[in-house]
Amino acid sequence: MRSRVARSGTVGVQEFIWHLGKRSGRTSRVCALPIQEEKESLIKIRIYVLALMLLFVCLQSVHAQEYGKIRALRQRADHVIQQKNDFVVRVLTSYTIPHECNAQGVVTRINVDGQWLAVDTIEIVPVLKEEADTHPQVAAHKLLFYTADGIMYLVSDLIIR
């Protein structure tokens, strides 16, 4: 149902749409919006829905990019751990220290003075050589083997590569 209503102080006549609804058997006026405002509100709703859809699509692509970065970081971490394990085995082999490794190549036991010690943790600490005219350079590595009996350490001039 449309009607034309003139307002005082306005130049033209605005059209109003009266929305009727039924409430307990009687017809009552629910809302009265000018046609222009109703069209604007529908456009705003469409814009909001479109923005939410774009946001949803963009977030999925961002998630995929982040997943790719995380996968690359995990691969790099696996590579670094493998280098560390290979270096420890190479040092122990070069000094003819008996040792045992698990399936992943991690040193699990070392033989010190005829006694096998279970290794809990291995740390590799670079030993720097500092000269006045150059930047500090790695001269050696100190390997720390943490066991139940204490900490065993070994200094090696081999390079991690």
Look at residues 142, 111, 114, 110 and name the one whose alpha carbon lies nearest to residue 126: 142
HSE-CB of 54 using CA atoms within 13 angstroms: 6
**Alpha carbons 120 and 117: distance in angstroms, whole number:** 9
Look at residues 139, 142, 122 and name the one whose alpha carbon lies nearest to residue 131: 139
Whole-number pLDDT of residue 35: 65
- Computed over every residue of the chain, the mean pLDDT equals 78
- Where would I find the H helices in the chain? 35-94
Q: pLDDT grade, residue 48 (50/70/90)? A: confident
**pTM higher than 0.75:** no
What tokens does 22 get?
């039924």
First to last CA, the chain: 83
Please give the single-letter amino acid code of residue 84: K
Q: pLDDT grade, residue 133 (50/70/90)? A: confident
pLDDT in tens, 70-93: 888 999 999 999 999 999 999 999
More confident residue, 116 or 4: 116
Determine contact, residues 121/146, Cβ cutoff 8 Å.
yes
**Alpha carbons 88 and 94: distance in angstroms, whole number:** 10
Determine contact, residues 141/155, Cβ cutoff 8 Å.
yes
Determine contact, residues 87/160, Cβ cutoff 8 Å.
yes
